[in-house]
Structure 1
Amino acid sequence: MAVRTFTRVLATALAMLAIASGAAEASPVLMISLDGLRPDDVTKAGERGIKVPHLQALLQEGANASGVVGVLPTLTYPSHTTLVTGVAPARHGVSNNLTFDPQATNQQGWYWYASDIRVPTLWQAAHAAGLKTASVHWPVTVGATGIDANLPQIWRTGCADDAKLLVALATPGLLPRLEAKLGPYRQGIDETVEGDAVRVKFAQALLAERPAFTTVYLAGIDHQEHRSGPGSPEAIATIERTDALVGDLVASARAAMPDVTVVVVSDHGFLPITTDINLFAPFIAAGLVTLDKDGKVASWQAEPWLAGGTAFVVLARPDDASLLARTTALVDKLARDPAYHIARVLDHAETQRLGGPAEAALTIAFEPGYESGHDPRAAVATPASYKGMHGFMPDLPAMRSTLIVSGPKLRRRGDLGVVDMRSIAPSVARILGVKLPDAQADAVF
């Protein structure tokens, strides 16, 4: 009995020592997402005439990826969920930016709600370990557990009621407390760099309170690259203004927490586009989608779920073999028609192997320069509504995103090479001294 008691006491002491040791090795983390930032806009900034001194300073003192291979689809919400879980959309459940809404009953509802995430997040892992957490404008954080100070991303119409909505959905009392010092917060529908600048002030106030893990999302680069195209003068000017905001965040974090590790990420790359392709019309002509007298969807059997440079075909009856065969025949016919500029079609099994949406019976991948259009009454090909787009297949080098890391606890410095996006969350978890057992890749920094 005495031997067993001694063994239990020794095991407990060793466990406590291990916990204390892990805590001693841990470092607070500030994770900044710059939506749409291409890696070469930092690593080759001089060649491109881009002035980003703050990002380049982080790169030179720490580590960076030459590119990050993202997830399917290469869109903001699925990617940002991967960045905090370490798993692909097939596993975490956030399959697109907008929820699948074939009859448009959700008024363009996005995947705002953290309840859609099916696996643990970094915030939850940190909170469970007794660490304080904070987040500003990160996607898929409405109702998130594990975030102690949360200003989630959500919008509806952009009217004054949206501000009331955010007060109700943020951490209770947080927004009024900060607005009393800083003035009005910027509504979520505002994705400009000016909106980012306001949100950065709120993030700086939270960083002064020394959270162990903070996530901050800035949308301005993506916003401008959609409108003027990647590499345009307007996009470059936005990147430079965003670099200054990164400098402000890093300065505030280091003033409050000198041992902070700064992790700068983006969610996807960008491609210039010229043409919208109408995928809806063939599904309507084939009787798979039926419109009412007002041109709205009255019923559907199979319908495209648009994702920029890709589209996912969802079946109303996924187990209906005849419906799948009929739909596959239609999509194969479109893929053979050069007017549709389809580069590749993936079946459900291949989509799942690549970590894409579980809902997709088929994945349609467009050629660079072409995206899925939204008007079912349009011609097959019309001028694109945007000048830049993402959502293309993640194996395209142009879709690679950014990773720059600086801090005292890095395992490696310098060029990390090409990195799997799923490896970023477990790397952050290592620095925080917490675990993400569901992550599908190993830590790389």
Structure 2
Amino acid sequence: MERLTDHLIVISFDCLSSLDFPTLVELPHFQELLNHKAYCKNVKTIYPSVTYPCHATIVTGKLPNRHGVINNTLLQPGNPSPDWYWYRRYVKGTTLYDEAKKANLTTAALLWPVTAKANIDYNMPEIFANRPWQNQVTVSLLSGSPLYQLDMNRRFGNIRKGLSQPELDDFVLESTVQTIQSKKPNLLLVHFTDLDTQRHLYGFSSVQAHEALRRHDERLGRIIGALKQSGIYNNSTVIVLGDHSALDESKAIKLNVLLRKTGLIKVNKRGKVVDWKAYCKSCDGSAYLYVKNDNDHETKSILKKLLDELTKDDRNGIEKLLTNEELCPKGADPNAYLMVEAHQGYYFTEGLNGELIDTITAKDVKSKKYTVASHGYSPDKKNYTTVLIASGKGIRSNAIIPSMHLVDEGPTFARLLGLDLGDTDGRIIREMLI
């Protein structure tokens, strides 16, 4: 299959929303991209709309129940800091970077989710030390390309301040620029989380979120500049995308508090979970309800009745209850017994103590107990779509795509590189390609 471009640069600005588009068109580097572009400002995301499933969908063209990454974090009941779906092994089937490697193309990924231990030439995976005895640098080195990461850390490690933003994205930016200049990869995947962080901490339309958008514009300018300085700009395609939007919230729902009171979760004297029959696994704006033993029909009956009753009163924050038969066609985890969707203004946590509903305070946010904006909601929520902007080689100029789905991105990116992702849930958006 003919390649339409020599270098595909995919830039994910986590939590970039369709509602940000009026701001983007006023920013100089986004403007430059939009002058020679195809774009869609109505990209429907997946369910649940959280970062790791979204990014796995982008590189596979499949819904979560097919690629296997059905949440950000693993089901580890009672663990206050569950492990994430960091590793490539969690993704079923092939990916964009796998197919690129098979075609002998040079690949690079910087903080792209679910790429730990992936077969990527220059890989700096998104993973963090989640055990007291672990060191962040060591965990990263062992999960990606050691020599490459050592070089980036030697050059730019002084910029980073742990996982705090905007310093982390500034480090990723400098590493991206250096990678473009020294490696000239055929496929580059880079993930920036500054905007997502600011929205979680300060709200969707906060001053801090707008400042993050401006920083992203500067980052985009630096990346475009690096492509030009490297002499590969005219043979490159630059893709800017978001994975999901976000909604402000002021109340946290803790269904595990009720499951504990009902005896479906058992804890010891220190409050640690020692056994469970049912568990609420948060996806922020939605949540899975798991039953430990699929043949435990008594627990299923208790759980269904409990949630049916809660859903009757809007003050409990539950907008909708989905059965397994209803959630599977949406692409969510087929192993979940039920799924609940939060009303706007609410989101789910896995807390075991206190009351069912907590009102979120500034102190809660400062202590990182809660956030004031989140995602994970149904893609059918109003004003909840994301965006895609494409510019450069192989892209049709001034092509406006009225609507598309996140699953369409992988097949379209594969076509640009002359690759095929096989049986996907999406389609190639040929309207944006030459």
Is 2:385 the partner of 1:400?
Answer: yes
Matches within 5 A, 1:19-58: 22-23=2-3, 25-41=4-20, 43-45=21-23, 51-58=26-33
- What are the equivalent positions in structure 2 for 1:141-290 lying under 5 Å apart? 141-145=115-119, 147-156=120-129, 161-184=135-158, 186=160, 190-208=163-181, 209-256=183-230, 257-258=232-233, 259-290=235-266
Give me the whole-angstrom Cα distance separating, in 2, the residues matched to 1:282 and 1:261.
51
CA distance in structure 2 between the aligned counterparts of 1:395 and 1:191, rounded to whole angstroms: 32
1:250-399 mapped onto 2 (5 Å cutoff): 250-256=224-230, 257-258=232-233, 259-384=235-360, 385-399=370-384
Checking the alignment, whether the CA contact within 8 Å between 1:119 and 1:438 is kept in structure 2 is no
Q: 2: CA distance between counterparts of 1:438 and 1:404?
A: 25
The residue that corresponds to 1:88 in the other structure is 63
CA deviations 1:294-334 (Å, max 9, x no partner) are: 11211101110001111100110124333322221221111
Conserved? CA contact 2:5–2:236, under 8 Å: no
Matched, 1:134 2:108: yes
Q: Tell me, in whole angstroms, the C-alpha distance in 2 between the residues paired with 1:412 and 1:136.
A: 28
| One-letter identity of the residue aligned with 1:226 | H
Task: Tell me if the contact between 2:284 and 2:347 (Cα under 8 Å) persists in the aligned partners.
Answer: yes
Deviation at 1:375, TM superposition (A): 2.7
Q: Which letter maps to 2:41?
A: S
> Residue 239 of structure 2 contacts residue 391 of structure 2 at CA under 8 Å; is this kept in 1?
yes
Specify the code of the residue in structure 1 equivalent to 2:180: L
Structure 2: runs of 5+ lacking an equivalent: 361-369
Q: Do 2:159 and 2:170's aligned partners in 1 also have CA atoms closer than 8 Å? A: no
Q: Which has the larger radius of gyration?
A: 1
Q: Secondary structure at the match of 1:283?
A: helix
Task: Quote the Cα distance in structure 1 between the aligned partners of 2:107 and 2:351.
Answer: 42
Letter matched to residue 376 of structure 2? G
Contact 2:17 2:244 in 1 (8 A): yes
Q: Distance in 2 between matches of 1:156 and 1:340?
A: 35
| Deviation per residue, 1:102-140 (Å, 9 max, x gap) | 142x94211111100012110001111111100011111
Q: Deviations over 1:28-72 (max 9, x none)?
A: 20000001111231x2118xxx95221232123201112211111
Q: Give how far 1:202 is off.
A: 0.7
Q: d(CA) in 1 for partners of 2:358 and 2:323? A: 27
- Whole-angstrom distance in 1 between the partners of 2:144 and 2:88: 13
The total of aligned residue pairs comes to 417
Q: Give the conservation status (yes or no) of the 8 Å contact 1:179–1:185.
A: no
Deviation at 1:234, TM superposition (A): 1.2
State the match for 2:365 in structure 1.
none
CA contact (8 A) 1:51 1:240 kept: no
Question: For the residues of structure 1 that align with 2:380 and 2:190, how far apart are their CA atoms?
Answer: 27
- Helix, strand or coil at the partner of 2:415: helix
Alignment-derived partner of residue 43 in structure 2: 68
Quote the Cα distance in structure 2 between the aligned partners of 1:231 and 1:289. 38
Instruction: State the AA in 1 paired with 2:303.
Output: T
Q: Pick from 412, 415, 420: which aligns with 1:427? A: 412
CA drift of 1:90 comes to: 0.5
Quickly say closer, same or farther: Cα 1:280–1:211, change in 2 above 3 A.
Answer: same
The 1:172–1:198 alpha-carbon spacing in structure 2 relative to 1, beyond 3 Å, is closer
TM-superposed deviation, 1:413:
3.5
Could you tell me how far apart the structure 1 residues matched to 2:212 and 2:297 are?
49
CA contact (8 A) 1:351 1:357 kept: yes
What is the letter of the counterpart of residue 408 of structure 2?
Answer: S
Post-superposition offset of 1:390: 0.8
Give the CA deviation at 1:191.
4.6
Say whether the 8 Å CA contact 2:5–2:393 is kept in structure 1.
no
Residue aligning to 2:366? none
Give, as a single letter, the amino acid of the residue that structure 2 aligns with 1:210: K
Distance 1:144 1:40 in 2: 34
Question: Cα gap change, 1:400/1:158 in structure 2, threshold over 3 Å: closer, same or farther?
Answer: farther
Structure 1 pair 103–114 and aligned structure 2 pair: CA distance change class (3 A): same
Q: Which amino acid in the other structure matches residue 134 of structure 1?
A: A
What CA RMSD, in Å, does the superposition of the two structures yield over aligned residues?
A: 2.0
| Residue in structure 2 matched with residue 11 of structure 1 by the alignment | none
Q: Give 2:95's match in structure 1, choosing from 121, 124, 127.
A: 121
State whether residues 252 and 348 of structure 2, in contact with CA within 8 Å, keep that contact through their aligned partners in structure 1.
Answer: yes
Distance 2:260 2:343 in 1: 23
Mapped to 1, the partners of 2:153 and 2:260 lie a distance apart of 49
Question: Matched residues, percent identical?
Answer: 27
Q: In 2, distance between residues paired with 1:380 and 1:148?
A: 47
CA distance, structure 2, for counterparts of residue 346 and residue 376 of structure 1 = 23
State the shift of 1:183 in Å.
Answer: 4.5
